[in-house]
Structures are given as structure tokens and as C-alpha cells.
């Protein structure tokens, strides 16, 4: 579905991987290139080298909007919701489809996020941090993605909210969504992930099942030594 062919995101490194169905945890310390890789896939930055293929098509010249229409969803770090708009307005704003399809998508998204269903008319700024993150994910889901890119969605959330967030991601994956999840909460991410990738200075150091990555020397070297395995 999505192939990264020797994609260079930082000087001296490259990532070569096929993104499989389920959840792939993208791990590595700050500065490893996780955000840069997600932005390259979304078309928000041009990679230094290599190619990105979606269903066999080279998408190098595709705009972020075209990639979104083709099924790549984006949930950036920091939520970036529209605080002055209501929950409903935040969700509907990105669904550039007809009324019936927009309603179908909205019903599906709120089915995943029942806490937001009760706050449809509330201004986004009045939501808790956890609810705002769920709203950011819901907004990404309103584009009906096949592949969802998430950049540090657990940042700033209490552990109990992280558990709820990751349970939602696992549910979405079980329902057929392919997820690439960049995370610093390594243990929690690997608990729900099917596979893992370890980046260091833009270079892919390890890839494998979540169980394999959990005990891989590359993960220990890049994260444990820095005290970031949490």
C-alpha cells in the first residue's frame, strides 16, 4: 500500500520499508527524524532522497491535499484544532464531500468518540486535553483515510488518557485502518503495535514485530540510555 524506498529525511540516513496493515510504531529519541518522515509522507516536506509510493504510484509531485484525497490522513503533534470553533465545526470543516457522505462520516467518527458526541456544540477550547486530542484524531478520520499518520499523540496526556487514546487506535486498526504512530511513550506504543521501526539520525536502525523491537539492541541504545523508555 505505502512504500518508502530509501527515503532520506536527514543527511546521512535513509528509510526503506513497506507499511503493512495494522499499527506500526515509529520510535526513536528527539531528533531521530520521526516528524520529518511523517511530514515527507504527507507531502509537507520534500525528502532529501528516495521515493514514496502509494499503491504503486510515485507520489513525489502530489500535494498534501491530493495525498489526503488518496487516503492518507494526518494528525500532527500539538493537536492544532480550531479552538474558537465547535466540535462539530472542527470535524465538518475538513470533510469536503456532499452532505450525505459528510453525515455518514460524522456518525462513524462519533461512534468511535462517544465523549465528543455529547459535546457537539461546545467550543473546542473548552475541552480537556484528552478530549482535544480525540478531536484532532476525529478530524483526521473525517477525511476517510486508509492510512493514518500520528505524530506524538500522547504528548502531555495523563497515563489514564494515554491508555484510552491507544485503545482507540487499536480499535481503529482492528477495523482496517493502517496506522503509522510516532511516539515517545515507547512501552505503551509497543503494547498496541503490530510492528515497530527504530530511527536514529534519520537512519532505520531496526524493524520487526513489536515483540522483536521491544528487546532489540537498537531500541535500548537509542532510548534506554537516554532515559526515555516510558
What integer pLDDT is reported at residue 227 of this predicted model?
43
pLDDT 10s digits, 41-55: 999 999 999 999 999
Give me 197's grid cell: 521501526
* Mean pLDDT value across residues 212-229: 70
DSSP state of 152: S
Q: What is the mean pLDDT of the chain?
A: 91
Which of 205, 173, 175 lies closest to 191 in space, CA to CA?
173
pLDDT 10s digits, 102-133: 899 999 999 999 989 889 899 999 999 899 99
Q: Which residue has the higher pLDDT, 191 or 99?
A: 191
pLDDT band at 226 (very low <50, low <70, confident <90, very high): very low
How many other C-beta atoms are found inside a 10 Å radius of the C-beta of residue 137? 24
Q: Is 90 exceeded by the pLDDT of residue 24?
A: yes
Task: Tell me if 37 sits within 8 A of 26, measured CB to CB.
Answer: yes
Give bridge partners of residue 59 from the DSSP assignment: none
Instruction: List phi, psi (to 5°) of 226.
Output: -95, 0
State how many domains the chain has.
2
* Mean pLDDT value across residues 82-96: 91
What integer pLDDT is reported at residue 224 of this predicted model?
55
pLDDT band at 228 (very low <50, low <70, confident <90, very high): very low
Q: Same structural domain for residues 127 and 62?
A: no
* Mean pLDDT value across residues 7-20: 91
Q: Same structural domain for residues 164 and 111?
A: no
What integer pLDDT is reported at residue 1 of this predicted model?
86
Where helices occur in 3-125 by DSSP H, the ranges are 34-42, 64-69, 87-93, 99-112, 114-117
Q: Same structural domain for residues 117 and 14?
A: no
Write down the residue that cell numbers 492518507 correspond to: 72
d(CA 82, CA 199): 32
CATH code: domain of residue 160:
3.40.50.300
User: How many residues belong to the chain?
Assistant: 230
Task: Please count the CA atoms within 13 angstroms of the CA of 82 that sit on its side-chain side.
Answer: 12
What integer pLDDT is reported at residue 223 of this predicted model?
64
Q: Same structural domain for residues 160 and 67?
A: yes
Final residue before a domain boundary, out of 143, 166, 188: 143
What integer pLDDT is reported at residue 229 of this predicted model?
45
The rounded percent of the chain whose pLDDT value lies above 70 is 96
Q: Is 90 exceeded by the pLDDT of residue 159?
A: no
148 Cβ contact list (under 8 Å, min separation 6): 73, 74, 75, 140, 141, 172, 177, 178, 179, 180
Which of 43, 45, 23 lies closest to 153 in space, CA to CA?
23
Q: Same structural domain for residues 88 and 198?
A: no
The whole model's pTM is what? 0.92
Q: Same structural domain for residues 124 and 27?
A: no
d(CA 92, CA 103): 9
Q: Is 60 exceeded by the pLDDT of residue 203?
A: yes
* Mean pLDDT value across residues 212-226: 75
Give me 127's grid cell: 475541552
Amino acid at each position: 500500500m505505502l512504500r518508502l524506498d530509501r527515503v532520506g529525511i536527514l543527511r546521512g540516513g535513509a528509510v526503506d520499508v513497506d507499511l503493512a496493515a495494522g499499527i506500526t510504531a515509529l520510535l526513536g529519541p528527539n531528533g531521530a527524524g520521526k516528524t520529518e518522515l511523517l511530514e515527507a509522507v504527507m507531502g509537507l516536506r520534500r525528502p532529501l532522497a528516495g521515493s514514496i509510493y502509494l499503491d504503486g504510484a510515485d507520489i513525489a509531485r502530489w500535494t498534501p491535499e491530493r495525498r489526503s484525497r488518496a487516503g492518507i490522513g494526518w494528525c500532527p503533534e500539538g493537536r492544532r484544532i480550531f479552538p474558537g470553533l465547535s466540535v462539530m465545526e472542527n470535524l465538518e470543516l475538513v470533510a469536503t464531500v456532499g452532505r450525505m457522505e459528510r453525515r455518514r462520516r460524522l456518525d462513524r467518527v462519533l461512534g468511535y468518540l462517544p465523549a465528543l458526541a455529547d459535546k457537539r456544540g461546545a467550543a473546542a477550547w473548552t475541552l480537556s486535553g484528552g478530549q482535544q486530542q480525540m478531536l484532532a484524531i476525529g478530524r483526521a478520520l473525517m477525511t476517510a483515510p486508509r492510512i493514518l499518520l500520528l505524530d506524538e499523540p500522547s504528548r502531555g496526556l495523563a497515563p489514564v488518557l494515554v491508555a484510552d487514546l491507544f485503545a482507540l487506535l487499536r480499535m481503529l486498526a482492528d477495523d482496517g485502518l493502517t496506522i503509522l504512530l510516532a511516539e515517545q511513550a515507547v512501552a505503551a506504543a509497543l503494547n498496541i503495535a503490530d510492528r515497530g521501526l527504530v530511527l536514529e539520525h534519520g537512519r532505520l536502525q531496526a524493524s520487526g514485530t513489536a515483540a522483536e523491537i521491544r528487546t532489540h539492541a537498537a531500541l535500548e541504545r537509542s532510548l534506554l540510555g537516554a532515559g526515555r523508555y516510558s
